[in-house]
Amino acid sequence: MGLLKRMRTGDRSHPAEQYLNQGDHLHALVPAQGGLHPFSMLVIGVAALAGIVLTVDLPWVQVSLISTTVFATAAVLTMSRYRLLALTDADIVVMRTRALRPAKPVELLDRIERTAPFDIRGSAWGQIVVGDEKLWVHRRYHGHLEEADARLAAAPRGMRAASSSAYRAARAKKKVRNVGRRHR
């Protein structure tokens, strides 16, 4: 059974549930990636392979190409930000995930009110803006984003703000309580 079917039937066993409010109705979970374009690793690898093949007689060039490729791969991996977006009726819940477990969130980053539709730019990996962060979403999840846009257009204006205002009020109280505490 799919994840959303399990969640809609009342099975609240997914790790993302701990970051949702009690009254939230989850429509979709969308993994996203911030940073460089996801195909940048492919371009780096193909260019390095072509350079290594073309420089068979020059071992010092091959060693420098391999070193550069390893450095570029490490740089791309460390610059990537992995997110899981939970699309609810009125909000987008943004959670941080790890690279090797993109469906298991480890931290709640933000809860953003849906006021504008997603402007998906791109084909295989579409870029969207969530809050102030640009994220890449695979084509497989573009349908979920388009459904969320359709629900946003169909929802009355007052219904959209109810959930977010309650969240912001609770968040403000928590910030006031935690003033002066240090996080470790």
Indicate if the alpha-carbon torsion angle 74, 75, 80, 81 is positive or negative.
positive
* Burial classification of residue 133, based on how many CB atoms lie within 10 Å of its CB (0-12 exposed, 13-18 middle, 19 or more buried): middle
In a domain, 140, yes or no: yes
74 and 93 inside one domain: no
Mark which of 24, 53, 79 sits at the end of a domain.
Answer: 79
123 and 165 inside one domain: yes
47 and 10 inside one domain: no
Give the pLDDT of the chain (184 residues) as one tens digit per residue.
Answer: 455 565 555 566 788 888 888 888 888 899 999 988 888 888 888 888 888 888 888 888 888 888 888 888 888 778 889 999 999 888 899 999 988 888 899 999 999 988 888 888 888 899 999 988 999 999 999 999 999 989 888 876 655 445 555 555 665 655 555 556 555 4
pLDDT confidence of residue 178: 58
136 and 161 inside one domain: yes
Mark which of 52, 79, 106 sits at the end of a domain.
Answer: 79
Smallest Cα–Cα separation from 145: which of 82, 98, 102, 85?
85
pLDDT confidence of residue 176: 57
Mark which of 15, 48, 79 sits at the end of a domain.
Answer: 79
26 and 46 inside one domain: no
Smallest Cα–Cα separation from 117: which of 94, 87, 140?
87
pLDDT confidence of residue 43: 86
What residues contact residue 74 under an 8 Å CB cut-off, 6+ apart?
A: none
Range of the domain at 23: 3-35+85-172
In a domain, 183, yes or no: no
Number of H helices and E strands in the chain, helices first, is 5, 6
65 and 91 inside one domain: no
Neighbours of 165 (CB within 10 A): 12
75 and 160 inside one domain: no
50 and 133 inside one domain: no
pLDDT confidence of residue 34: 92
Q: What is the CATH number of the domain that holds 108?
A: 2.30.29
Neighbours of 138 (CB within 10 A): 15
CB of 3 within 8 A of CB of 144? no
In a domain, 177, yes or no: no
Helix H segments across the chain? Answer: 3-8, 40-54, 59-79, 142-154, 157-177
pLDDT confidence of residue 10: 58
Return the residue matching tokens 């939970």.
86
In a domain, 105, yes or no: yes
3-state DSSP assignment of residue 27: coil
Total domain count for the chain? 2
What residues contact residue 45 under an 8 Å CB cut-off, 6+ apart?
A: 69, 73
